A = this chain, B = another copy of it.
């Protein structure tokens, strides 16, 4: 994408803000904000250029290194002979479970049929998201076994803790997707959990969501629930659910993972392929090498989806992390992965596939100054790099071990700011404001001038959490820091939450499917 032009900053596709009606006061402002929320786009369409870190020559070096890794060292797929057969038929060299790929093979397979962009449909069609190209989709935290909040402290997640952030994401205009395992509901048996999780996404939100990937059967159950919700025919032809899978880096795929990938792809549903590399542990300690490795790993399974079903929706993922020199612990929001993200975005565009990056990452245990700094330092590079599907965008704490309630709404507010950032800089006559200068002249203020009155309400992002009041006002309000304000915010949002409508017959069909599935097997807790 070239530097922005006038064309690029037109706000096409978004509803216009509500007209000014002179209403004032807290109630009126709240109503106005609610209208603003209703007008929020289903996803972001970027109006600012990509950040191009590397030259073509630099990108070629990384692509070449990935090719050498694939050709010379190869990748192992453990325990999935079908995947090996697919690769053998495609022209790869198989020895045991090690696959070596002729240079360029994997890339050619991807570029032949993988979509540059696709739509994941939501239960509410107005909330369907385009993934790829200039679109950006913010997705909540994914994977934490624990949750924490200011009053309840840190604890294992429950089904209620799983539903709550679904409700918060549904209520937020700035989170585009309901996510997947926002936390693990550990009060539900491991082998039945996925049913309640997928159901909760359907029941408590109308946004798009992820399904289970922990076993092939659970993946198939997830897809079946989606078929009930969206209809068999519609689901066959459209992406309505996705599975997010990790690689057993370095250079290994567990057969369970490739089976799950094959299940989603065969059903024409989406796969998110995400190598997670902690530099110095699952990959080299230098960023360029870790990028090349992740590139090789991701490309192999992105290509696998195309061997299963050409044209299947798939997202090329990346998750690089650094390490503490003091303890060997993973660190997040550090500068080396931030720089790496910028290069990864270029590699994904070169390949022509949608990109998933991590969002608001941190190793902090609480929603403190460390947490938001690291989160901002992760999110901004992801946005500049051109990431399309930003997982872990809200609620992530403690290196992904914890879904934090306060962090969730703080992140959501920050994601709102990023909506404004990605709009770029309008340069029409109104924005350039020459008439305002003519009206006001030197030494006067712009508070009441016609230009200010006409543009005031849409000029600046209206943060619901940032406190810009005077010290005296802030003191008199009880010296609340950001985390305390966030606590008030999420508790109030849950209190006023109302579920989106769900057809009763459909609801009963979903519940019957779940009941049958649950009744068929004993509970398993591990």
Which residues of A does B touch, CB under 8 Å? 2-6, 29, 48-49, 51-55, 57-58, 61-62, 65, 68-69, 72-76, 98, 154, 248, 250-252, 279-293, 322-336, 338-340, 342-343, 363-377, 380, 384, 398-399, 401-402, 410, 414, 417-421, 423-427, 430-434, 436-438, 440-447, 451-452, 455-457, 459-463, 465-471, 474, 479, 481-483, 486
Query: Bound state CA distance, A328 and B334, in angstroms?
Result: 35
Nearest B residue to A483, CB-CB: B369
A48 / chain B contacts, CB cutoff of 8 Å: 53, 339, 342
Given A289-B437, A368-B368, A374-B466, A459:B279 Cβ within 8 A: yes
Nearest B residue to A430, CB-CB: B286
Query: Is B284 a contact partner of A384 (Cβ separation < 8 A)?
Result: no
Query: Bound state CA distance, A367 and B284, in angstroms?
Result: 35
Query: Is A434 a contact partner of B68 (Cβ separation < 8 A)?
Result: yes
Q: Could you show 15 A-B contacts with beta carbons less than 8 Å apart?
A: A5-B57, A61-B427, A69-B434, A76-B443, A250-B440, A285-B446, A286-B432, A292-B432, A322-B460, A324-B462, A334-B466, A339-B421, A364-B482, A365-B471, A401-B471
Query: Is B279 a contact partner of A460 (Cβ separation < 8 A)?
Result: yes
A445 / chain B contacts, CB cutoff of 8 Å: 250, 281-282
Given A4-B53, A293-B437, A76:B442 Cβ within 8 A: yes
Query: Is A424 a contact partner of B339 (Cβ separation < 8 A)?
Result: yes
Q: Which of these, B57, B373, B437, B466, contacts A73 with CB under 8 Å?
A: B437
Shortest Cβ gap from A202 to chain B (Å): 33
Given A372-B373, A460-B334, A53:B425 Cβ within 8 A: yes
A290 / chain B contacts, CB cutoff of 8 Å: 433
Query: Bound state CA distance, A446 and B290, in angstroms?
Result: 11
Query: Is A363 a contact partner of B434 (Cβ separation < 8 A)?
Result: no
Query: Bound state CA distance, A43 and B420, in angstroms?
Result: 32
